[in-house]
């Protein structure tokens, strides 16, 4: 730095842009909006140069490379939230007049996006039960471009055969998008089963600490480029470098956390089965379709930390149960260290019309549990006393 510069120049430039050739063990947070262009070519900026963090940033690249490796995809694109990732993917793969097939059992905002937002953009949407691949085949039209589902689905934990549905889609020239938020790449890799695109709410298990929003799409290089350059760059729902850093930090312990979440959820499901006030348990391990469909048994290597159950009675009993919890927290979201319990009909899925919810099994007495990392005996004791109070 030239010491002759004035105080104002020193305030802005002194000490900045020093390349000391350091190699940080942990990916640093590149908390910058733009990047210095070392050399501008007569043809423009050299390909692959970082320019502006709305399009790319080294901290985001580290997260994207990790997720592409974990899901077995060519490339990944990160977003400010799971909903940003889902809407950008649909915008990149569909144009006005195209047809999309989706399951009806979806996270509430995804349901709202597909029922209200998609038709406004001129996308035709058919809702079918994708757990029956024949329903998907029957819904296909000449202009079908995308099949979208979650497995296990939020909040009923319904399972969909990724291989079979992807086959039906690709035979008809459509792409399959799987929301893999509940199982994460630790337990399920949809791309290896034939899906074309995987989307995640990174807010959940990937981050795993409940301290940042984020979304990720993993796909072929071609789709990723369309999603990044065709949508992210212009609509601008970019992930912040700080949140990317937190999600990267969370991912390093994903395996350990998923094992514990699953161990606790399996134990809690057995505990709930023995409770008089519990009418029905929804947990992938107990899904009767696992016996009937061998693909479902092999498509996931673990059952995850999400379960749901129906309490005997109606909405009053469900609400009383929730209001009596002390250790477990009544909250939306999932995949946090703390056990989070909610009433989908009144909370995450309140946007789904009541008659539609009932048809989908999102009943007044349905309670969703994101089983946390606490000692299982403490979770059970809290749930037991809240059931007694209900």
Q: What is the DSSP letter of 52?
A: B
Residue among 59, 67, 82, 283 that touches ligand PLP (CB under 6 A): 82
- Is residue 156 within the footprint of ligand PLP (CB under 6 A)? no
Per CB under 6 A, the list member of 64, 103, 150, 342 interacting with ligand PLP is 150
Q: What sign for the dihedral angle of Cα 301, 307, 308, 311?
A: positive
Q: In terms of CB distance, is 176 or 201 closer to ligand PLP?
A: 201
Least distance to ligand PLP from the beta carbon of 207, Å? Answer: 9
Least separation, in Å, of the C-beta of 212 and ligand PLP? Answer: 9
With CB under 6 A as the contact rule, the residue among 188, 203, 207, 262 that binds ligand PLP is 203
107 vs 283, which CB is nearer to ligand PLP?
A: 107
Q: Does 81 bind ligand PLP (CB under 6 A)?
A: yes
Among 30, 50, 107, 303, which one carries the catalytic annotation?
Answer: 107
Residues 6+ apart with CB under 8 A from 70: 185, 186, 251
Query: Does residue 169 belong to the site contacting ligand PLP (CB under 6 A)?
Result: no
2 prior amide bond cis, ω within 30: no
Q: Compute how many other C-beta atoms are within 10 angstroms of the C-beta atom of residue 126.
A: 16
158 is catalytic: no
The DSSP result for 342-372, as a single string, is E-TTTTTTTTS-HHHHHHHT--TTEEEEE--
Least separation in angstroms between residue 363's CB and ligand PLP is 19
Interatomic CA distance for residues 20 and 18, integer angstroms: 6
- Minimum Å distance from CB 319 to ligand PLP? 21
Among positions 78, 176, 188, 201, the unique one binding ligand PLP when judged by CB under 6 A: 201
Verify binding: residue 184, ligand PLP, rule CB under 6 A.
no
- DSSP secondary structure string for all residues of 225-293: HHHIIIIIHHH--PPPHHHHHHHHHHHTTHHHHHHHHHHHHHHHHHHHHT-TTEEEEE-GGG-THHHH-
Helix (H) / strand (E) containing 330: strand 329-330
Question: How far, in Å, CA of 284 to CA of 304, rounded?
Answer: 8
Among 70, 75, 76, 83, interactor with ligand PLP by CB under 6 A = 83
Least Å from the CB of residue 102 to ligand PLP: 13
What does DSSP assign to residue 218?
A: E
211 is catalytic: no
Identify the active-site residue in 145, 164, 204, 357.
204
The distance of closest approach from Cβ of residue 62 to ligand PLP in the complex, given in angstroms and rounded to an integer, is: 20
Q: Is 53 in the site for ligand PLP (CB under 6 A)?
A: no
Structure token pair of residue 36: 């210095």
Q: Reply yes or no on whether 164 is catalytic.
A: no
Q: Which of 154, 188, 219, 266 binds ligand PLP (CB under 6 A)?
A: 154
CB of 111 to ligand PLP, least distance (A): 10
Q: Mask: binding to ligand PLP, 224-263, rule CB under 6 A, as x and -?
A: ----------------------------------------
Provide the 3-class DSSP secondary structure of residue 329.
strand
| Token output for 134 | 């024949």
With CA atoms as reference, report the closest residue to 301 among 282, 285, 289: 285
Is 228 noted as a catalytic residue in this protein?
Answer: no
Query: What is the crossing angle of helices 254-273 and 376-389, to 10°?
Result: 40
Residue 330 in contact with residue 322, Cβ under 8 Å?
A: yes
Q: Judged by CB under 6 A, does residue 190 bind ligand PLP?
A: no
Interface residues with ligand PLP (CB under 6 A) are 81-83, 107, 109-110, 150, 154, 179, 181, 201, 203, 213, 215, 333
Residues taking part in catalysis: 54, 107, 179, 204
């Amino acid at each position: 730095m030239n010491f002759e510069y004035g105080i104002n120049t020193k305030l802005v430039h002194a000490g900045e842009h020093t390349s000391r050739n350091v190699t940080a063990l942990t990916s640093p947070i590149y908390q910058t909006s733009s990047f210095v262009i070392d050399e501008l070519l007569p043809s423009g900026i050299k390909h692959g140069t970082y320019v502006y963090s709305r399009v790319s940033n080294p901290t985001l690249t580290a997260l994207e490379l990790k997720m592409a490796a974990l899901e077995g995809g060519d490339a990944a694109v990160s977003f400010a939230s799971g909903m940003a990732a889902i809407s950008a993917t649909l915008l990149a793969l569909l144009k006005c007049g195209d047809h999309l097939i989706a399951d009806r059992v979806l996270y509430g905002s995804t349901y709202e996006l597909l029922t209200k937002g998609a038709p406004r953009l001129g996308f035709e949407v058919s809702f079918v039960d994708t757990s029956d691949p024949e329903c998907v085949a029957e819904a296909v039209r000449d202009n079908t471009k995308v099949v979208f589902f979650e497995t296990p689905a939020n909040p009923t934990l319904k399972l969909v055969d990724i291989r079979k549905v992807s086959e039906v889609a690709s035979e008809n020239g459509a792409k399959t998008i799987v929301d893999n938020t509940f199982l994460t790449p630790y337990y399920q890799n949809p791309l290896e089963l034939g899906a074309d695109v995987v989307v995640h709410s990174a807010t959940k298990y990937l981050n795993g600490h409940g301290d940042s929003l984020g979304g990720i799409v993993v796909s072929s290089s071609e789709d990723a480029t369309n999603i990044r350059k065709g949508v992210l760059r212009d609509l601008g729902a970019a992930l912040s470098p700080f949140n990317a850093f937190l999600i990267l930090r969370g991912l390093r312990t994903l395996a350990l956390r998923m094992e514990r979440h699953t161990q606790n959820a399996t134990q809690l499901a057995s505990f709930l089965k023995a409770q008089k006030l519990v009418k029905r348990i929804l947990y992938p391990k107990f899904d009767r379709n696992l016996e009937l469909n061998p693909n479902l048994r092999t498509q996931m290597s673990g059952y995850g930390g999400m379960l749901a159950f129906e309490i005997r009675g109606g909405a009053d009993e469900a609400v009383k149960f929730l209001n009596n919890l002390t250790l477990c927290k009544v909250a939306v979201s999932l995949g946090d260290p703390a056990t989070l319990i909610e009433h989908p009909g009144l909370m995450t899925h309140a946007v789904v019309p009541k008659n539609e919810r009932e048809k989908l099994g999102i009943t007044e007495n349905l309670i969703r549990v994101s089983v946390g990392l606490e000692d299982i005996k403490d979770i059970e004791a809290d749930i037991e006393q809240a059931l007694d109070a209900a």
